[in-house]
Structure 1
Amino acid sequence: MKKGKLPYVISISGVSGGGKTTITKYLNERLKNSKQISFDDYEFDGPDDIMKWVDQGANYEDWNLAPLVSDIESLLAEPLDYIVLDFPFANKHSKMSNYIDLAIYIDTPLDIAMARRVIRDYSNRSNESILHEMENYLSNGRRGYLEMLKSIKPNSDIIVDGTLPVSKIIDTIYEEILKR
């Protein structure tokens, strides 16, 4: 639809705890005349049972992303150079893929992503809640993470090592944007 025209839309994907939000923030700061949007700032109509959705093939079209699409369309009309999306689906959702010029996957090992999630989400919670989350991850949640590795990672334009320092990740992405 708008491929090749400004603003240039960059999506940052990866597993929960993989660094999407941090990378989106710092990349947005590095790029001139840009705005950022985060998937997590929206309430979407999507699958009620994420694990059932994953087990049934994870059809990304099951998500109604209309509010996000509307905001992207509004930003495309602004005099911006870049839009940076914290968006977990890369090019897997047809309505969003029409707008994305560059899909980046932050490839963070699952153990590091889980440790980051626990630090981020459970620092003020009880040991029991942390143990419950670890049990949930082992019995269900890990399948969701593996789904991302199976479908989102290969549908991204660039894969960046999520174990690198944030500054190196930003430099790598910035250099790739300049090449394009």
Structure 2
Amino acid sequence: MKKGKQPLVIAIAAVSGGGKTTISTHLNERLQNSKILFFDEYDFDGPDDIIDWIDNGANYDEWNLAPLMSDLEVLLTEPLNYIVMDFPFAYKHSKTSKFIDFTVFIDTPLDIAMARRVSRDFKNSTVENILMDMEGYISQGRRGYLEMLETIKPNSDIIVDGTLPVFEIVSIISQYIKQID
């Protein structure tokens, strides 16, 4: 990138367990002079009841993303080429969308995403905890995943098959970056 130009901001979205963090990390490692922001490293104020939030139109602006916005604004002043955001909202949050240059949706089948999430989050849990989480997914969580597929996926610039190997996904995203950069 040319000196003095703001970094290209790339948002990586997916359902929980869809590969956001893994792809963001590998993409950041592949890109030269880049930094990464992880959504899960922040404690955001958001809707108390996700199902109610979905039923009332899923207004992404109801999430207070001030801590992430503050860090993003600082990074935008640094002499970077790229900022990679592990960020599930794509362009749907009005305060962040103006800073994002393009979004990627990692389209991972829900069964694979769920298996990854259980493997990741419940390594040392009891069977009862896993079963409670599965019941929560069936009764409520799945609706949140479907909300993302209905609103975030079509709101993204590119959609990549989440069943592909990590290196292939990163390669596809890298090729897209070369085209727009």
TM-score (norm 2): 0.95
1:29 and 2:25 are equivalent in the alignment: no
* Equivalent in the alignment of 1:171: 171
For residue 6 of structure 1, report the CA deviation from its aligned partner.
2.5
* C-alpha distance in structure 2 between counterparts of 1:59 and 1:45, whole Å: 13
SS in 2 for 1:103: strand
* C-alpha distance in structure 2 between counterparts of 1:41 and 1:52, whole Å: 25
* C-alpha distance in structure 2 between counterparts of 1:101 and 1:56, whole Å: 29
1:103 and 2:90 are equivalent in the alignment: no
* C-alpha distance in structure 2 between counterparts of 1:38 and 1:121, whole Å: 17
* C-alpha distance in structure 1 between counterparts of 2:50 and 2:116, whole Å: 21
Cα displacement string for residues 72-121 of structure 1 (whole angstroms, at most 9, x for unaligned residues): 11101000000000000000001100000010000000000000001001
For residue 55 of structure 1, report the CA deviation from its aligned partner.
1.6
For residue 54 of structure 1, report the CA deviation from its aligned partner.
1.2
Q: Percent identity?
A: 66
- Greater Cα shift, 41-50 or 152-161: 41-50
SS in 1 for 2:128: helix
Kindly report which structure 2 residues correspond to 1:5-154, keeping only aligned pairs within 5 A, or say none. Answer: 5-154=5-154
Tell me how large the CA RMSD over aligned residues is.
Answer: 0.7
TM-score (norm 1): 0.96
SS in 1 for 2:152: helix
Cα displacement string for residues 9-64 of structure 1 (whole angstroms, at most 9, x for unaligned residues): 00000000000000000000000000000111111111111121112111001011
Output the amino acid matched with 2:43: E
SS in 2 for 1:138: helix
Output the amino acid matched with 2:30: R
**Which ranges of structure 2 fall in alignment gaps of 5 or more residues?**
none
